[in-house]
Chains A and B, each alone.
Chain A
Amino acid sequence: MEKNRYAFWFLGTVALGIAALMGFNWAVGAYILNHPAGASVQTLAGFERALKPVWLAQIRPELVFVGSSRVRDGFDPVLIDPALKVKSFNYGASSMTPYEARRFAQDALAQPSVKQVVVSLDAFTGNGGPGEALPSFDETRLAVTPDGAPTQRRALWLFTTRFLSGGALGMNALSVYALARLKTHETAADRPDIFNAYSHMTGAVMQRDLAYRRTRTLTMGSGPAREFSTLLASACDANARLILFFPPDHMAIQARYREGDAAALDAFKQTVRNTVARHNARCASKVVMFDFLGPNTLTTEALRDGRSASYVDLVHFRPPAGLWLLEKMGVGLPRLR
């Protein structure tokens, strides 16, 4: 074969493949955005880090939730938006590192449409170091750099992520598969077999969780503390209000945390409180903080044979519980705006 024919076949294959990829991502993206239950895909696990920054820029929400899988599972815009009369966005991702949490929150704060950013504080626990992130996290998709400067050529990175990335392909495929399985008038809440965030904890899940998390506790190392301080510094002059909350892990697991290292858990809470107090004393944009990591209606729910109305497992609360939390926090109400 002549070499110029080789180049023709090579480039033709690449061009066709890219065209197919872009076409699929474009069509599925439009389908998700226009589907009545489309926003519920934000509670799905898998490739969230890749596509959620693109969705954030596309959706232009007023209210954003940032945090680990607790947040990803617990806040469904399909449920929240009509109840609170806001346009919300779930920016949660599995195993979010403290650095990622800070950066995603910075990204949310930098969006002109955003009025409130709700952050779950468990994302700032552990011993994560500076810059530590999971493989599919990418700085270039976020509105600002770690120093707060606008990201250069971001439109290009968002475009390539949206149309040409494996993460977008994976998340879009997952989302369209989930939505396509919903029958007419069905919502994510009707299909916990597809949307795991709506499933109910069982006895087996509870026992597995108790064993899995038996040696864990919520501690805040120096790295996460530094990321948390940096986040608050970013929020000092932000137009959007930052709202923090200690997540409502069930008392059964909180007891394990206390058995593991009660002092470290208390120190985590105290560090957060002190940092917030310092921030509020010097910044125009005040931070509001709520503590659900203690006895309350959710965390003291009686678990009969491990079955729960509010939890997927001992730390992941279901979207109706997420809505209850937001109402307790007064999120979306005029007084917080």
Chain B
Amino acid sequence: MPFNSYPYFIFLAAAVLGYWLLENRTLTGRRVFLLLASYAFYAWWRADFLLLLMGSTLVNYMIGREIELRRARQADRRIFLIGGLIFNLGLIALFKYQTLFVTTASDLLNIGLPVSEFFLPLAISFFTFEQISYLVDADTGKTRNYSLLDYALFVAYFPHLIAGPIVRHNDLIPQFVAKRTARANDLAAGITLFTIGLAKKTLIADNLAPFADTIFNAAGRGTALGLTDSWLGTLFFSFQIYFDFSAYSDMALGSAVMLGIRLPVNFHSPYKATSIIEFWRRWHISLSAFLRDYLYIPLGGNRGSRARRYLNLFITMLLGGLWHGASWTFMLWGGLHGLYLAINHAFRHVTKGVTPPAIWRLPLHVLSVLLTFAATSLAWIVFRAQDLASARNVAGGLLGLGDSAIVSFSPLAAVTLALLFAIVWWMPNSMQIMWRHNPALPSPYARDPVTPASRLAWQPTRLQACAYGLLCIVAILALSNLKPFIYFQF
């Protein structure tokens, strides 16, 4: 059930109402209600895969409990941890990567291996990663003997189930049993955040999509893109994915806030970043934190030589890219970011201790933001392209290697781009707008905390209520065209 659909609005209203009715009466009842609602939410898409979600939850819970018990008894638990990891990675490999690996092996070895096509269960990448983190934390003693009900709700809790944020058990489960005191505040903040997200999705992202799609589809058909086509296609997609993912994050967090639960901040104006390192502290924050804690650090992190550290970064981002989808283009996207990060860290090492004169600070800041935006936009080409050949077509077009003229650089396109740059670079983001009203858990990156907006900050006044209500109506008017979120495919 996509967040940007009427059935979800009805479902969310029913879930909030039901939860409110049960909230102060029965602690177990409200959690059971939320779990059933979350399963209904998932089953709306395909009921048969609900069994997979439930089965995966049960197996991981049992393994996690066994690890906890063995840890308490100081018995060997490695076999259970390894078994759990194999189970989860095997599940995701079977459903998500099997076709890619078998097809590639078959092509490389020219042996015609049989390929089984599996339908990709929705959200498998997200709920698998969350459960892996639970098993690893159980092994290191960070879990607290959760009940099956709490654990199942942690995995299936509908606001984060489909496309994140990737939530940690210790962030979420304690909130399920906490008593809340400001229901009206939660409802007000939640509906406002949800409305901001809906408006970003239907009014901005969905209107950029057709232009980006037309250009990337043409590249996919082998058209050698011209300069204007490539630049506009790349820029439009960079903004489309920005607003699409930002919208999704706002709607997920807004839905959770209405139910009194805070999810972690997942999106914090990434195009304001002055480096790729900072970009990853602002873009899909929960994924980058997961990759840091459960992949980069176990690989050795920044222990060892600098070369080893850069290699660890590269491997982490390569696998992070592959997490997005079973395609070499995603892997290349991750690899590019791994390379960017390695270069960024090397540059920091080389320039350590160098302080530019005060007069240079602003120009250097602007240059850094521009360079980071250019690097990430270039990487989005391989992320969006259907295959490597079409990515080459788009990238070649940026250098003027092609001659297509699918779109023209009209005054409307110029104004649109100017407005988009103005929004992403100068306006406060939704987290900043809402921050004084506690819309989310803080960012795990202490160096880039969310700070409240000094202008456009949300206040629960009658005027703002009517203004956001009108924004909601305008966003609903544009909703008739059902376009899924980009991150729903992962």
Contacts and interface: CB of A to CB of B under 8 A. Distances in A.
A159 to B, nearest CB: 9
Dominant secondary structure at the A interface: helix
A127 interface: yes
B191 A50 contact: no
Given A4-B184, A10-B191, A10-B192, A17 B478 contact: no
A11 interface: yes
B482 A3 contact: no
Contact of B478 (A18, A131, A166): A166
A129 B480 contact: no
B476 interface: yes
Given A5-B462, A11-B469, A13-B466, A168 B188 contact: no
A17 B469 contact: yes
Nearest to A160: B6
B187 A165 contact: no
Interface residues of B, number: 39
A169 interface: yes
Given A17-B470, A165-B479, A166-B477, A7 B6 contact: no
Given A132-B217, A160-B6, A6 B472 contact: no
B257 to A, nearest CB: 12
Dominant secondary structure at the B interface: helix
B473 A18 contact: yes
Nearest to B465: A9
Residue of A153, A156, A160, A168 with most chain B CB atoms under a 10 A cut-off? A160
Contacts of A127: 218, 221, 223
Contact of A1 (B207, B461, B481): B461
B220 interface: yes
Interface stretch (A59-67, A133-141, A272-280, A292-300): A133-141
A165 B477 contact: yes
A131 B213 CA distance: 10
Interface string A97-132: 000000000000000000000000000000101011
A10 B462 CA distance: 8
A21 interface: yes
A132 B465 CA distance: 39
Contacts of A330: none
Given A9-B465, A9-B466, A138 B210 contact: no
B473 A4 contact: no
A164 B477 contact: yes
B468 interface: yes
Nearest to A136: B481
B29 interface: no
A160 B469 contact: no
A14 B473 contact: yes
A164 B188 contact: no
A230 B90 CA distance: 38
B214 interface: yes
B370 to A, nearest CB: 30
A165 B210 contact: no
Contacts of B221: 127, 129, 223
A21 B473 contact: yes
Given A1-B462, A4-B187, A7-B184, A13 B482 contact: no
Contacts of B462: 1, 5-6, 9
Contacts of B472: 10, 13-14
B460 interface: yes
Contacts of A165: 477, 479-480
Given A1-B462, A4-B187, A10-B469, A140 B477 contact: no
A161 interface: yes
Given A1-B465, A14-B476, A135-B481, 15 more contacts: A3-B460, A5-B460, A10-B468, A13-B470, A14-B469, A21-B473, A50-B480, A129-B217, A129-B218, A137-B481, A138-B480, A153-B7, A164-B479, A167-B480, A168-B480
Interface of B: 6-7, 182, 184-185, 187-189, 191-192, 206-207, 209-210, 213-214, 217-218, 220-221, 223, 460-462, 464-466, 468-470, 472-473, 476-482
15 contacts: A3-B182, A3-B187, A5-B460, A6-B464, A6-B465, A9-B469, A13-B472, A13-B473, A14-B469, A21-B473, A127-B223, A133-B210, A156-B6, A160-B479, A167-B481
